[in-house]
Amino acid sequence: GQQLNQSPQSMFIQEGEDVSMNCTSSSIFNTWLWYKQDPGEGPVLLIALYKAGELTSNGRLTAQFGITRKDSFLNISASIPSDVGIYFCAGTGNQFYFGTGTSLTVIP
């Protein structure tokens, strides 16, 4: 299916720094999801958002469902080496869409 626009495509940050990535769509979504994929494994669901404006945290991760229902962001605070991986956004409108991914590298 169609893919969402996710940015940035890749990030190289120092351990301890905060990270921010976002996802945009041209159409309205009913849910926004954020996944993390480690090399050679399947994506793991991090956060699910169901309402416009909703702000949800999972440990050091915080995600928000944009009020326009066309975007979402994911923040990671105080990054650590094990945050390395590819982060995907996903959403459901008239079908399920997957983002293009943000590759995160954390430098110790």
Contact residues toward other proteins (CB under 8 A) are 1, 3, 30-31, 33, 35, 40-45, 48, 88, 90, 92, 95-96, 98-101, 103
Alpha carbons 3 and 85: distance in angstroms, whole number? 19
Phi, psi of 105 (to 5 degrees): -120, 125
Nearer CB in complex with other proteins: 54/98: 98
Q: Which is nearer to other proteins, 37 or 77 (CB)?
A: 37
Helix, strand, coil in percent for the chain, rounding step 5? 5, 55, 40
> What tokens appear for 42 in the block?
């399947």
Least Å distance, CB 100 to other proteins, is 5
Which of 32, 73 has the CB closer to other proteins? Answer: 32
